[in-house]
Amino acid sequence: MSLFEAQQQIDPRGGMMTASATPADAVGLDLWLRTELRRRLTIAVIEPLGGPNPLCQDHCALLAIFSEVRVVTHRPPDTADASAATALLARIERDDVDALLVWTNGRLLTTGPLEGACTDEWQWPRTLLTAAEHTGLLDRSLVALIGEDVTQAAARKIGYEDGFSADLPVPALVGVLARDALVREMYRRRGSSPPCYL
């Protein structure tokens, strides 16, 4: 597969890829990452509150198919408060991640505080985002939500940079994350902040 073909396959919102990663997808994206990013793409994944689910585990396994992608998974703390979120992000920052994907239930993003504020599952993505703002992780890495029923609009509405449906093909997800990492690296080399997409 040529470099041009690989770049065509990683159209971030395109529909030309299957839901699973094929060996050709892996080879093409690995080639693109090796030539463009010139290092491994590091993705941290925070599993859903309440424990891992099969969909999250499947996505992490598919991400690990790519030799130029390093996946680091983290379990959320037992208590979903601000100090636990800050401690978790401190561990994640040590990995020098390009992207942080937070697994959540997308339906909880569109409910109001009166409908769900009392649950840890509703509060967790918001608590984590506040902690990411305080630690500066938002300046260094793409911080996004992912999961069933997650939409970009809903994720951005609560303050995240992006949101990805669990239905997005993994090669397309890797393409989006790689392109963001390239942009951030360019801005770091120039000594300025990355653009804000809000």
DSSP letter string, 45-69: EEPPTTS--HHHHHHHHHHTT-TTE
Q: What is the reported pLDDT for 160? A: 93
Residue 94: strand, helix, or coil:
coil
Q: What is the reported pLDDT for 117? A: 56
H/E stretch holding 124: helix 120-135
Q: What is the pTM of this model?
A: 0.80
Domains of the chain are 3-9+20-189 (3.40.50.280)
Q: What is the reported pLDDT for 110? A: 65
Q: Could you tell me if 186 and 42 are in contact, meaning their C-beta atoms sit under 8 angstroms apart?
A: no
Instruction: Give mean pLDDT, residues 84-106.
Output: 90
Residue with tokens 């994350």: 177
Please write the tens of the pLDDT for every residue from 163-182.
Answer: 999 999 988 899 899 988 88
Q: What is the reported pLDDT for 46? A: 93
Asked whether residue 27 carries a pLDDT value surpassing 90, the answer given is: no
H/E stretch holding 87: helix 82-93
Asked whether residue 93 carries a pLDDT value surpassing 50, the answer given is: yes
